[in-house]
Amino acid sequence: MRAPVPTQVQPSSPLQGGARCGDCPIRYRAVCAQCEGDELALLERMKFYRSFEAGQPIVWEGDRMDFVASVVSGVATLTRTLEDGRAQMVGLLLPSDFLGRPGRDTAAYNATAATGVVLCCFRRGPFDQLMQRIPHLAHRLLEMTLDELDAAREWMLLLGRKTAREKIASFIAIIARRQAASQKRRPAGRIVLELPLTREAMAAYLGLTIETVSRQMTALRRDGIIEIVGKRGVTLTDYARLIAESGGTGDDGATA
Amino acid sequence: MRAPVPTQVQPSSPLQGGARCGDCPIRYRAVCAQCEGDELALLERMKFYRSFEAGQPIVWEGDRMDFVASVVSGVATLTRTLEDGRAQMVGLLLPSDFLGRPGRDTAAYNATAATGVVLCCFRRGPFDQLMQRIPHLAHRLLEMTLDELDAAREWMLLLGRKTAREKIASFIAIIARRQAASQKRRPAGRIVLELPLTREAMAAYLGLTIETVSRQMTALRRDGIIEIVGKRGVTLTDYARLIAESGGTGDDGATA
DNA sequence: CGCCCGATTGACTTGGATCAAACCGAGTGG
DNA sequence: CCACTCGGTTTGATCCAAGTCAATCGGGCG
């Protein structure tokens, strides 16, 4: 995994119809995971893809939102903003995560592509109807929402009680854990990874300023916990040492 | 609403069978809201009540949890703790809110009764089966979970970006809004209310220390935004002024 | 080459934490 | 009836982690 984050600079255009669901990389993790046969066929017929380049907005808080979607590849962020501009990230959407709320027609958050992003979209009205007709869909979405709620609560613990250093360590640990999971390994020892967020986005995620993020990154480097490669590259000298700096309770916390 | 918080010192015992669901105060807001006739009868047959006095633990993180429940009356809190003891509240359960996760047999959080609490409980196994059989149940739970997720995200914004004064003002505003809602009014002008949490619990909720909570309460009093009555009593001189101190974006945020 | 944007570093300020005393009201028992 | 205790709360003095303001760096690109 040394390749740079796939910055998917696709021509933000059709790709329509695209691949068969059977070949989809998130086939068994997304909202459609439990659907088979007819059910999957229904979804397959109505799905359409949309791509976004890194940095592009996906939807803006308050905008009408006539679709829901699964993240196929890339990373998107959800942020909430106070009138005076203070912004807090409230969701980090990774491949297979779900964007949008069935039954709600207005976006509650700003969604932005942090890297290149490909979404598998469904028009909201028809999707809402499918939710009624296909219990598998509703069940899977419930499961995913409960997972996100758990992750959000883990995140609240981080925001409310961890120090800046612990926050940074926790964040890097989350990325490391997720990367390991996507390769069906368990994280350990020396790990090379690529952060999917800029310093600014990290600050928004962690409830810090960009300067503090930067300082703590260098502090962790000075202390030999990590090595910093370019803007996005980080190498852990030892996963366990990083965890020791994270303040604990990092059971998962990957999603939401 | 001047009466002290109903401290429901019930003999933490049976109450078994109790009232008919038809008379239940949370009949149309809890997880059972959309159930009628046969479905409701099934639930009615298997439900049982449990009561807890203020301060009592309900379940502890890691404990086996063989039931799920709706809060009938009172207020319960969910907290998450770091090894070294730092604690953050991650959920505030009000009447009609749901406790426990279908399909999970171990508590993920410490749940504590903040006031006297009455729970309407279901054994987890049978409830899980009902979830499969009664789509209304699953749909309602999904809806409630999505609401909690929204509330959790609002809370993350508070934890990550608001000042101590804004946090306190936001918290009081949430309580005021909820109280108004329970009386089907919209909050405005002068409002008398009773906080359902101690200073310590407020601090845990807001990611502050008890001293800072106390100081900011007195500061708001000095500035004429609130009056403080006893340990738990607060009177807003003007709801709008309080909101102006809260840093905004307080659309709801009541639950979770 | 020079610009631009994200990241880093430094100097200084400050909001909230920490440590340490009181305070206050509701029991409780002499 | 009053002294004592006890839990929750308030207040004060001091400290320090993180924020703010400002300058600089460094790589990619026109």
Give residue-wise pLDDT tens across range B56-106: 999 999 999 999 999 999 999 999 999 899 999 999 999 999 999 998 999
Q: A151 to chain B nearest CA, in Å?
A: 10
**Which CATH number is B199's domain given?**
1.10.10.10
- Please tell me if residue B169 touches chain A, with a CB cutoff of 8 Å: no
Q: Quick one: closest CA in A to B84, which residue?
A: A247
Rounded to an integer, the average pLDDT of A10-16 is 44
Cβ neighbours of A246 in B, within 8 Å? none
Q: Which two tokens mark B212?
A: 């800072």
Per-state percent for chain A, helix, strand, coil, to nearest 5: 40, 20, 40
Handedness of CA B94, B99, B102, B108 (dihedral sign): positive
Which has more confidence, B73 or B184? B73
Neighbours of B22 (CB within 10 A): 8
Whether A200 and A235 map to the same domain: the answer is yes
pLDDT of residue B10: 41
Rounded to an integer, the average pLDDT of A205-227 is 97
Whether B139 and B33 map to the same domain: the answer is yes
> What is the band of A213 on the pLDDT scale with cuts at 50, 70, 90?
very high
Q: Is residue B125 predicted with pLDDT exceeding 90?
A: yes
pLDDT of residue B18: 65
Q: How many domains does chain B divide into?
A: 2
> What is the band of A182 on the pLDDT scale with cuts at 50, 70, 90?
confident
Which residue among B88, B103, B154 sits closest to A161, beta carbon to beta carbon?
B88
3-class DSSP assignment, residue A158: helix
pLDDT of residue A244: 95
Q: Is residue A177 predicted with pLDDT exceeding 60?
A: yes
Q: Which domain holds residue B74?
A: 21-148
Chain D positions with any atom < 7 A from a protein CB:
8-13, 17-22, 27-28
- Please tell me if residue A161 touches chain B, with a CB cutoff of 8 Å: yes
Q: Is residue A5 part of a domain?
A: no
Q: What type of residue sits at position B231?
A: K
Give the integer Cα–Cα distance in Å for A236 and A177: 12
Q: Is residue B13 part of a domain?
A: no
**Which CATH number is B123's domain given?**
2.60.120.10
Classify the phi-psi angles of A156: left when phi > 0, otherwise alpha if psi is within -120 to 50, otherwise beta: alpha
The C1' atom of D18 and the CA atom of A140 lie apart, in whole Å, by: 41
Q: Is residue B1 part of a domain?
A: no
Task: Please judge whether A157 and B78 are an interchain contact, meaning their C-beta atoms are less than 8 angstroms apart.
Answer: no
Whether A103 and A174 map to the same domain: the answer is no
Whether A132 and A171 map to the same domain: the answer is no
Backbone angles phi, psi at B91, to 5 degrees: -160, 145
Q: Is residue B155 part of a domain?
A: no
The C1' atom of C12 and the CA atom of A203 lie apart, in whole Å, by: 22
Long-range contacts from A23-31, C-beta under 8 angstroms, 24+ separation: A24/A72, A24/A120, A25/A72, A25/A73, A25/A95, A26/A70, A26/A71, A26/A72, A26/A95, A26/A96, A26/A120, A29/A95, A29/A96, A30/A70, A30/A96, A30/A98, A30/A120, A31/A70, A31/A98, A31/A137, A31/A140, A31/A141, A31/A144
pLDDT of residue A61: 93
Whether B95 and B124 map to the same domain: the answer is yes
Q: A47 to chain B nearest CA, in Å?
A: 23
Give residue-wise pLDDT tens across range A79-136: 999 989 999 999 999 999 999 999 899 999 999 999 999 999 999 999 999 999 998 8
Rounded to an integer, the average pLDDT of B35-59 is 93
Contact between the CB of A163 and strand C at under 7 Å:
no
> What is the band of B198 on the pLDDT scale with cuts at 50, 70, 90?
very high
Nucleic strand D contact set for B 16-75 (CB, < 7 Å): 55
